[in-house]
Structure 1
Amino acid sequence: MLAPGAIYLVYLGGLAFTALIMLAAVLMTYEWARLVRGSHLNADYVIHAVTAIIAVGLAGAGMPLFALLAAAVGFAVAMGVVVWRDEGKRWPMIGFPYILLPCIAIVWLRSGGDWGMWTLYWLLAVVWATDIMAFVTGRTIGGPKLAPRFSPAKTWSGLLGGVAGASVAGAATSIILGLDSPILLALISGATAVIAQIGDIAESALKRYADVKDSGALIPGHGGVLDRVDGLIFAAVATAFVALIGILAEEGKGIGLGIFVL
């Protein structure tokens, strides 16, 4: 239901897309705070939310390094507040990199013009294909559990089905864009599927810790924002890392190479 709107905003890019990611970052920050703090929203949540707005805005303005710096400063300030208040638990601060890094990565990728747009379309296609095929094959074939302690419903057959679906999506993207090596992009897409599944399991573990079924109820019938993007946020960081390697390897050609530089 939300997919058409996301696809359209990826196409638009610019301020509209940045505003979408900024909103998503704030909503995910709210859900994270509820999961790790219960009903009590501490000062670090406010700092986290403000940092998210600033960091994503800087990334959207073409200043990714300043965005990372803002995220680091916000993290340091929030950690200082937690230590000063002697609140004991430090691990909730993981929410800063968990939420801000993928949001910065996604906005940075989209800033790469047409190739940045296609890189995000590829990423969405791979993550969605992974989720769909993992669900279908897991339900149909079943078998040994993948991570029973954190996500009892996931199976190894589902993981393999997700990898297969992502590989097909990657090969199709390569053919549609007229790239040279569908097989190579299929392999990269399969690896991305594994990363996305790790993200899914990580969020499941968080929900088990909080003893809740969904991360929130912001999306009627679909749970929270974190529930919808759990795999995407891990895959986005990995994609941005590969894109950065591509840029360094082909200096001067710009982010337009994206994931497809390989």
Structure 2
Amino acid sequence: MTSAGSQWADLGPRIASAVVMVAVGLLGIWLGGLVFGALVALSIGLIGWELARMMAPGRDVVAVGIGIAMGAGVLLAGFMPLPMALLTMFFITMLGAGGLGPEPDRIRFLVYGFYIMIAGYTLTGAREEAGLVAILWLVALVVATDVAGYFAGRIIGGPKFWPAVSPKKTWSGTVAGWIAAALVGLAFAAHLPGMTLVLAMLLSVALSFASQMGDAAESALKRRTGVKDSSNLIPGHGGLFDRFDALLGAAFTLFVAHQLGFFGG
């Protein structure tokens, strides 16, 4: 049986790391422009470095080069037309995959790397094209999903959502995250371009689920590669990929929704 103390043992580090990252993130979001673009590019570069290290432990120089290329690629893609931006990001992930180990790892890196770069590209584009409120809405629904899921899962408990991939997640926490995201959509609906109240709430729930799948995708990758955390960049609490996996999932899905005309299209 899990004791009450151990059940909440990770709450302190989660809050501390969240406060620092939220402060830095909000400052970058507020300033926008090149500052926010550079912050996103730095984050994607570090996540790319973490991903490469997970795929090919010991190839530190290769991992650093891949991280630099991915960060620079996301920054430059923001100044390109969409087709050229996608080709550039795909080419960078292909080159990165070529420097790694066996074919399954190269394919895995290609899929994850391209997905990560598109998510970063979307974050920058959402801030510049849709404005401050849109990016705040995206971040708020991801945070609300995570917080509601964390507390509901530990207080209510119950059946596991996907035990083979993410053994700590419960159905109660998952559904609580959807409800919290719907409330965020309700709060932001009037300020989002071209959004009705119902559409804002439905899209918020869809992005909430996408954020949960982003978390699950990283959990699956860590299980496959046999690592506990993507890195130790955040003292005592893992790496950037561990902290931003949910946001990456939501941002990637927002890109798809935008291309299909459901948001800002």
Task: Indicate the TM-score class for this superposition, using the shorter chain for normalisation.
Answer: 0.7 to 0.9
1:110 aligned to 2:127?
yes
**Cα 1:88/1:202, change in 2 over 3 Å:** closer
1:198 aligned to 2:213?
yes
**Cα 1:86/1:33, change in 2 over 3 Å:** closer
2:243 alignment partner in structure 1: 228
Q: What is the rounded CA distance, in whole Å, between the counterparts of 2:50 and 2:97 in structure 1?
A: 19
1:208 alignment partner in structure 2: 223
Q: How many residues align?
A: 245
- Encode CA deviations 1:30-81: one digit per residue, 9 max, x unaligned: 11122222233364x3553243133212233354433222112223334455
Does the 8 Å CA contact 2:77/2:89 hold for their aligned counterparts?
A: no
Does the 8 Å CA contact 1:29/1:95 hold for their aligned counterparts?
A: no
Find the residue that maps to 2:263 and give its secondary structure.
Answer: helix
**Mapping 1:52-91, distance limit 5 Å:** 52-81=70-99, 89-90=105-106, 91=108
1:35 alignment partner in structure 2: 54
What percent identity do the matched residue pairs reach?
Answer: 35
Does the 8 Å CA contact 1:54/1:70 hold for their aligned counterparts?
A: no
**Cα 1:219/1:46, change in 2 over 3 Å:** closer
Moved over 4 A (4+): 79-82, 85-88, 175-180
1:259 aligned to 2:257?
no
Q: What is the rounded CA distance, in whole Å, between the counterparts of 1:92 and 1:241 in structure 2?
A: 20
Q: What is the rounded CA distance, in whole Å, between the counterparts of 1:61 and 1:110 in structure 2?
A: 14
- Encode CA deviations 1:213-259: one digit per residue, 9 max, x unaligned: 3211112243210111111111101112222333xxxxxxxxxxx83
Q: What is the rounded CA distance, in whole Å, between the counterparts of 2:80 and 2:30 in structure 1?
A: 17
Unaligned stretches of 5+ residues in structure 1:
247-257
Alpha-carbon deviation of 1:95? Answer: 3.3
Give the residue type in structure 2 aligned to 1:58. Answer: L
TM-score, scaled to structure 1: 0.83
1:15 aligned to 2:34?
yes
Picking from 24, 31, 40, the partner of 1:5 is 24
**Mapping 1:92-241, distance limit 5 Å:** 92-112=109-129, 115-175=130-190, 181-241=196-256
Q: What is the rounded CA distance, in whole Å, between the counterparts of 2:189 and 2:88 in structure 1?
A: 36
Find the residue that maps to 2:131 and give its secondary structure.
Answer: helix
More divergent stretch after superposition (23-32 vs 102-111): 102-111
Q: What is the rounded CA distance, in whole Å, between the counterparts of 1:212 and 1:237 in structure 2?
A: 24
RMSD over aligned Cα atoms: 2.5
Alpha-carbon deviation of 1:185? Answer: 0.9
Q: What is the rounded CA distance, in whole Å, between the counterparts of 1:48 and 1:29 in structure 2?
A: 7
Does the 8 Å CA contact 1:134/1:162 hold for their aligned counterparts?
A: yes
Does the 8 Å CA contact 1:47/1:74 hold for their aligned counterparts?
A: no
Does the 8 Å CA contact 2:157/2:173 hold for their aligned counterparts?
A: yes
Does the 8 Å CA contact 2:148/2:180 hold for their aligned counterparts?
A: yes
Q: What is the rounded CA distance, in whole Å, between the counterparts of 2:169 and 2:57 in structure 1?
A: 26
Does the 8 Å CA contact 1:59/1:107 hold for their aligned counterparts?
A: no
**Cα 1:63/1:14, change in 2 over 3 Å:** farther
Alpha-carbon deviation of 1:86? Answer: 6.6
**Cα 1:260/1:165, change in 2 over 3 Å:** farther
1:255 alignment partner in structure 2: none
- Encode CA deviations 1:146-183: one digit per residue, 9 max, x unaligned: 11111110011111000001000110111466987323
Does the 8 Å CA contact 1:64/1:104 hold for their aligned counterparts?
A: no
